[in-house]
Amino acid sequence: MGRNANGLLKSNTDKGDLTVGQLGLHPKAIKMFENPISSWLWEYNDKVSNTLSEFRSQLAKVTKHDTKEISALKRVVEHFKANREQGTEKEFVDYVRRSANSVILGRYKERLLHQGGIASDIVESYAVQRAKRILVPQIVKHLKKSTMGWNSGGITSSGKGGSSGGSKGATEKGYTAKMVKNIVGMEQKYRRNKDETLHVFNSKGDIVSSIGGKGAQVVFDPKKIPANSILTHNHPRSLGESGIRRIGNSFSSDDIRSAIKVNAKEMRAVTPTYTFSIKRPKGGWGVSADEATKAFAYANRTVSKQGHNYLNQTKWNESNIARAEVTHFHKVMKMLAKKYGWDYSKKNN
């Protein structure tokens, strides 16, 4: 990973500045696709840089007393120790080469290389993993300096996602320590349950009620949910899935409709591996439940059309089908959040 004597990555690799010339592409591919691939690289480099800044800021705030955050950092290091190819420049370069070669050979249409849509999501995912891997040596150094339980053999395992606590991330922006402990802690306990359960918290993070459901559904009386509540529930459909499908899906139309009807402060959903959050703006949701349902349906149709076009171009490759399925409702939510000014976020647990 190019560490220097201090265990940190050298500054030139830290920026993640890949260029077209470093990709090792066939001259024909460079001549044909230099512009779209350059756009990919710009997006990749920019995302790596921004993600590093965000992660470093979060890391600097972690002290030896932040046990939940420490456990999360240890899991990051363990993950990249076990998956040595993930997050490397080579991983992304290989993806670009495969894509360009597939277009040249006629397997995919050239639109595959155009920026935007699913292609941009794929590039972004590679960049985020790259930033995490770059930061691993600094995480290790931070843990050692703070005497946070680092032993000579590496990280002491904290288990795989079964802890009762939780760590603060993008979906917990503005949360107090108490809110993280109560809300995220509850989510950690329920995210792998086979039956959906709704948990209602007040705006300070105190539990108000829990409502059990059956399978991937929970029914409740909106009149019994106090306004300004924080609602969180689990999405069990991705249980037992493998690969990218383990991520599960973002919010459904019913989720958004429910949040608006009860005037919730925030709606959250958790899968075995991801957390999704949608927060109400200061001025309110800005739309009625019925109007939001119509807007959701329109966005759903738009994303479906985009997904089908992409899959037609890629000849319905299985891995791309899985990615299209997993990112579908995330794209829908991004459209709605942009339209109404909602604060939408997700994080990998």
| pLDDT tens profile 299-348 | 999 999 888 888 888 778 788 888 888 899 999 999 999 999 999 999 98
pLDDT of residue 20: 63
Share of the chain above pLDDT 70, in %: 77
The answer for residues whose C-beta is within 8 angstroms of residue 31's C-beta and 6 or more apart is none
Average pLDDT of the residues in 175-181: 95
φ, ψ of residue 19 to 5 degrees: the values are -125, 165
CA 94 – CA 96 distance, rounded (Å): 5
Mean pLDDT of 89-111: 69
Q: Pairing mode, if any, of strands 230-234 and 197-201?
A: antiparallel
**Shared-domain flag, residues 92 and 216:** no
Structural domains in the chain (count): 2
Q: Could you read off the pLDDT of 270-306 as tens digits, one per residue?
A: 999 999 999 999 999 999 999 999 999 999 999 998 8
257 and 320 inside one domain: yes
Confidence of residue 28 (pLDDT cuts 50, 70, 90): low
pLDDT recorded at residue 157: 27
Last residue of a domain, one of 112, 145, 178: 145
Whether 51 is covered by a domain: the verdict is: yes
Claim to verify: residue 208 and residue 141 sit in the same structural domain: no
Claim to verify: residue 140 and residue 286 sit in the same structural domain: no
DSSP category for residue 223 = G
Distance between CA atoms of 20 and 23, rounded to whole angstroms?
5
Q: CA triplet 324, 131, 175: central angle to 5 degrees?
A: 80
Which distant-in-sequence residues (6+ apart) come within 8 Å of 312 by Cβ?
none
Mean pLDDT of 223-248: 92
Domain coverage including residue 74: 11-145
Res 261 pLDDT > 60? yes
Identify which of 18-22, 137-141, 183-187, 325-329 has the greatest average pLDDT. 183-187
Contact 333, 344 (CB under 8 A): yes
* Residues 202 and 226 sit within 8 Å (Cβ to Cβ): yes
Is the confidence at residue 54, as pLDDT, over 90? no
Whether the pLDDT of residue 208 is over 90: the answer is yes
Residue 277: phi, psi to the nearest 5?
-140, 140
Q: 187, 195, 268, 197: which is closest to 230 by C-alpha?
A: 268
Q: 238 or 349, which is more confident? A: 238
Q: Are residues 138 and 195 in the same domain?
A: no
Same domain, 199 and 259: yes
Q: pLDDT above 90 covers what percent of the chain? A: 40
**Locate tokens 């319905």: which residue?**
316
More confident residue, 153 or 228: 228
Indicate whether 186 and 321 sit together in one domain: yes
